[in-house]
Structure 1
Amino acid sequence: MKLIDIDKTRYRRHLNRVLIGCALVLAAGSLLVSQTLIALFPSPSESHFHWNALGVLVTAAAVGLGLSKYRHHDYLTEVLYVWELKQSLNKITRKMRKLEAAANTGDADALQVLHYSYAGSRQLWKLDDNVIIMDELNTKQAQLDTLAAKFNVTLNVDDYDDRILKRF
């Protein structure tokens, strides 16, 4: 996955609208489905938990299908990009110990993956206004730059390919 610059205000506006829309559809749809089921299949015990749960499940599935169908719509471009970036960074994080160990021995692929991870994390944290630990990230980036210089490795975010992770 390539890192791209996105407009932070557009991303936040679209994300908030998508989240609010999903919540409203989930609430209204769940009520509609469960009340319809309760009216069609009344229970003498007055417990309608199973109909309410089914209403939530059906509506959640419908929301999921709707988001899946329209995931490549222009309105969701930034939201989808950030979602995919988070997935990509999570894959790297799961292998971080092995990557850091390999980077310390001069493995160019490990250095490249760490560089991508730091750049992606920096972008993600700026988009989400989560800059509390940015100093720690800058320290790690400086250490990575030192390792890259020591082993004569040129780091470029655009050279990252997630297939590299299979080695670690």
Structure 2
Amino acid sequence: MQLQQIDKTRYRKHLNKVIFACIAALTVGSLGIAQLLILLFPDADGSHFHWNLLGVVVTSIVIGLTLKKVKSHPFMFEVAYVWDLKQALNRITRKMMAIKKASKEGDVDAMLAMQFSYSGSKQLWTLDDNTITMEDLSMWQAELDALAREYQVELDITKYDERILTKF
């Protein structure tokens, strides 16, 4: 995955529409399915928890499959990009202890993974208006920059490939 410039306004607008559509679909779908099942299979005790749960589960699966199918639509570009970015950052975060250790030993791939993580996190946090930890990110970036200078490494995130994570 490569980082791309994203229009924050368009991203927020499209994300809000997708969230609203998912909430509306979940509400209408789960209630509709549950009511249909209750009508077809009434319970003498009056407990319809299992039908309500089934309505939520089925509707959630349908929404998930629909999102997966429309992920490549141009309307979903920014939302899908952020979705993929979060997954890529999570893959790095799960291995961050080993990556940090390797980077302190001069491993170029480890430093590159950290650079991608820090750059991607900065973009993600800016898009989501989550600026609380930006100071921490700046400190981490400064530490990484010092390591790169120490080992005379140039960190070009366009050369990042997540396959390098397999060695950590």
Please give the range of the TM-score, normalised by the shorter of the 2 chains.
Answer: over 0.9
Structure 2 gaps of 5+ residues are none
Secondary structure, in 3 states, of the residue corresponding to 1:34?
A: helix
Shift of 1:146: 1.2
1:142 CA displacement: 1.2
In the TM superposition, 1:1-168 aligns within 5 A as 1-168=1-168
Structure 1: gaps of 5 or more residues: none
Aligned positions, number: 168
The alpha-carbon deviation at position 149 of structure 1 amounts to 1.1
Q: State the SS of the aligned residue for 2:92.
A: helix
* In 2: Cα distance, 1:89 partner to 1:6 partner: 17
Once the 2 structures are TM-superposed, how far is the Cα of residue 40 of structure 1 from its aligned partner? 1.1
- Report the TM-score, using the length of structure 2 for normalisation: 0.97
Distance 1:49 1:101 in 2: 50
Aligned alpha-carbon RMSD (Å): 0.8
Q: Deviations over 1:2-57 (max 9, x none)?
A: 00000001111111110111001100111111111111111212111111111111
Measure the CA separation in 2 of the matches of 1:63 and 1:163. Answer: 30
- Alpha-carbon distance in 1 for matches of 2:129, 2:152: 34
Distance 2:62 2:96 in 1: 36
Percent sequence identity over matched residues? 52
| Structure 1 residue 109 displacement after superposition | 0.7
Inter-partner Cα distance in structure 1 for 2:157 and 2:39: 57
Deviation at 1:87, TM superposition (A): 0.6
Cα distance between partner residues in 2 of 1:137 and 1:117: 10
> How does the TM-score come out when normalised to structure 1?
0.97
